[in-house]
Structure 1
């Protein structure tokens, strides 16, 4: 196994990053990773080129088995039996009725085969008709059984007590830790990701006019952080977050309050911290003006849902529409929706959530078509983890691997990527003490053991975005443990779902 080189940045740079993090409050480590990809891609972008990545994070750990649902009779019957519906075709327990899946049945160009050589069929959740149509029209793909891995791992290796020889991601099945690991390769408390390092390395050569608009969050609980010099920018669903006294004349009763504040900020101060504070405030004012100007353009006419992800993705569409005003040729956006920790009421509550995700992502794709840049924008889902295939009575419990969707005009759509996992919760072994093949793909109760790492998933997106193979280990440190160079061509660093 290989390990990435040590951080070449100075201790001063590290302390400066940590200080920035502390000043902002709660931080979302994925911001660092996205800055890395964004800044690296901007460095390599050819003249006139534009691309955007949009991460749709499903907080709480989405239930994979009722999102991308096995449909062929043998697998469906097994799924239904395990989830409490019996071996029939009707709903029961937390199993969905097969008859409800017909409108969202997926028709891939190539029929996927599982590890046992069996042909498999899948349907999306019945509430996801929009995304099912995008898949069947070639504009979306499904990445099967993806999740955090330090290196390729079998179930027997997972059970081995030698975690040095067979490392596993720390704090598995923990919400906060797995959110952080998905997003920064480190458990909760991570202050630095690969974005900070990569942003510092390439910012001086960035092709974005302003690095502050490379990575933008429209999720209220996300703070995008960067490195020593690379920055992030957060907006609300209503636009730029303003400094109230500088933008609202009614606060001090004077229309010239903004110009007065700006003049004050330009004055030099003896204390270095005062100067730095002034610089940050001035930058915020200038950024707010740029975002407001970008949003003043005629927005796409596509109708978005007014709840859930809808307003966030509508704002992303408007910001992309104003990319020229923002001086951006590479951008990464973060949006999110919560509520997926469904230990109870899985069937009823997930239906509402999947409806919101599908309608918002479908509207967003339609807006990129309207603007004429569908092949330049890719949206993808991520989540804390998948959940157990086994039912706990009215829901499912914390798991590991999951299935995710990638949407956009540059997606090699109408296809499944990765290997379909057999449908099993059994722990039965053969006479030699080895797990039966159908039982080797989970780690108990149908918790999927990822067959694709989140680093492979991210690397495929990053490569399309413009990050070179040489830069990739700086962006995704654990990618060195996968692919041909690591002696694991069965875990490729390019999964193939992007053109």
Structure 2
């Protein structure tokens, strides 16, 4: 399907960058404006667009994933501490009910992530992460341990009361924003995904007719908010594009061919066709006011992106297309799980796979996707008896099967064998308390701090655990090595900042070392860039 774009007196990308930067000076602080201009200048100075396709997929586990039961000590002193502290949330390594057994994984660098030396034996994963175990052991997935929101490094249990910390720790809304902004000690202005998009979009996606580099299939989020407004995220649902209302399904009542935009002959002669033509004529006008232009630009970009996204999905739509094959990868991954493959999170990931398959219609060499799996606020019944679909057990089951289906789809010819070109990574509000909040089967866990994240893709240096695994000693244990922040419930102080974790992902997508401090202004507090490249956080191949 061909797309036709005709804009009346529309600003060029360079003009829009300059206009947005100038208008920003009147509504933001000078510090933020200078940072924004540095990002724009780096983009404008690029001599040529990048080649090849790469995409990041942020999988946000909304509600606070209890990653204490995602990556689990399988043996050693850490295993003993796990059994002594988890209470009703303990997953045994040897139990008559095999469905509850921890699955051992073949981590190749246990010593590098050992916090004390000799503390760790071997690792395992949640019993429902069968496919993740296979991906990990094959070198296609890795865990990042002890990551969380930090303003400065070096916080200990002793210094916790007075040390500078992210505000409103253990708050869902605050920690979600701070994870997605990476700058917890400043008022929110943008997300780190949005800042990456602002920098890379003019370099790697130079066409004036391409779709937005940032696509959310899970609603509005902080992660993709642009500091300049240059790359406005396109928001859709797991059902597909969200069209302007009043013109029929896929604009069937207003246009002859929904894949052709802004062409006079394509509008139908009826009332709906005339109304859409008038509306889109207004969108294409240039206004004297930069604010009016920016307001108009939101609707204009949404309409243009909608058309391109629709065309990308059209590549995998229809009875003779690859849709059924792509769906089969997910259906097969769910076989025997007891979980319904037709759920919102899985449908989000299916849509990402379809958009990657139809990437030529989007016109981008770099893409950032945002998806979300909800339900992780597991204060009660975290390990429901005999259920594969409820509690944290069900969440891990769904995550496991969905990521397996996504991986298989990316490896398939229908998507173009894009496994090496896509990296999916998890993030969450926080992990949860190590101790259970009850002593019976209704036990759950409460809000905590640092935890574990998962990355997967063909470029991942897998079968490894990066960062430092926490010492699983509660605050009342008297052990000087405990990193239990306060009290004795197991709120682990992070050892890796969001900045460090995210900067590796940014470098892989194409952010140069000299621009990392612009994207992550707090990064230099934690580690120098050479240490990220050569140290034990280098979890992605160039």
In 2, the alpha carbon distance for the partners of 1:325 and 1:341 equals 38
Identify the match of residue 64 of structure 2 among 57, 61, 67: 61
Q: Structure 1, residues 191-223: CA drift from partner, whole Å, max 9, x if none?
A: 334566665566554534256521110003537
Matched, 1:478 2:518: no
Change (3 A) 1:363 1:66: same
Identify the match of residue 425 of structure 2 among 374, 380, 383: 380
Change (3 A) 1:97 1:202: closer
Change (3 A) 1:64 1:472: same
How far is the alpha carbon of 1:446 from its aligned partner? 1.5
With normalisation by structure 1, the TM-score equals 0.81
1:71 and 1:120 in contact (8 A); partners too: yes
**Which residue of 2 is the match for residue 389 of structure 1?**
434
In 1, the alpha carbon distance for the partners of 2:233 and 2:219 equals 14
Matched, 1:422 2:436: no
2:214 and 2:233 in contact (8 A); partners too: yes
Gaps of 5+ in 2: 1-19, 30-35, 255-269, 317-321, 331-340, 385-390
1:148 and 1:181 in contact (8 A); partners too: yes
* Structure 1 segment 237-256 matched on structure 2, within 5 A: 237-246=238-247, 247-250=250-253, 254=272
Change (3 A) 1:51 1:490: closer
In 2, the alpha carbon distance for the partners of 1:44 and 1:253 equals 47
In 2, the alpha carbon distance for the partners of 1:292 and 1:264 equals 22
In 2, the alpha carbon distance for the partners of 1:10 and 1:278 equals 17
In 2, the alpha carbon distance for the partners of 1:44 and 1:363 equals 39
1:43 and 1:202 in contact (8 A); partners too: no
2:75 and 2:121 in contact (8 A); partners too: yes
Matched, 1:404 2:453: yes
**Which residue of 1 is the match for residue 388 of structure 2?**
none
In 2, the alpha carbon distance for the partners of 1:494 and 1:471 equals 21
SS in 2 for 1:357: helix
SS in 2 for 1:314: helix
Matched, 1:346 2:382: yes
**Which residue of 1 is the match for residue 367 of structure 2?**
331
In 2, the alpha carbon distance for the partners of 1:261 and 1:174 equals 42
User: 463-472 or 265-274: which moved more?
Assistant: 265-274
**Which residue of 2 is the match for residue 291 of structure 1?**
309
User: 198-207 or 277-286: which moved more?
Assistant: 198-207
CA RMSD, Structure 1 to Structure 2 (Å): 3.4
In 2, the alpha carbon distance for the partners of 1:66 and 1:268 equals 55
Change (3 A) 1:276 1:282: same
SS in 1 for 2:424: strand
How far is the alpha carbon of 1:173 from its aligned partner? 0.9
With normalisation by structure 2, the TM-score equals 0.75
Q: Structure 1, residues 132-176: CA drift from partner, whole Å, max 9, x if none?
A: 111111110011111111121231453352x4xxx2111111111
1:147 and 1:400 in contact (8 A); partners too: yes
**Which residue of 2 is the match for residue 158 of structure 1?**
159
What is the aligned length? 455
SS in 1 for 2:236: strand
2:61 and 2:374 in contact (8 A); partners too: yes
In 2, the alpha carbon distance for the partners of 1:44 and 1:178 equals 38
How far is the alpha carbon of 1:107 from its aligned partner? 1.1
* Structure 1 segment 109-148 matched on structure 2, within 5 A: 109-112=108-111, 114-118=114-118, 119-148=120-149
* Structure 1 segment 352-367 matched on structure 2, within 5 A: 352-367=394-409
**Which residue of 1 is the match for residue 177 of structure 2?**
180
**Which residue of 2 is the match for residue 12 of structure 1?**
23
1:203 and 1:211 in contact (8 A); partners too: no
Gaps of 5+ in 1: 1-8, 19-32, 85-92, 430-434
In 2, the alpha carbon distance for the partners of 1:42 and 1:128 equals 45
2:483 and 2:492 in contact (8 A); partners too: no
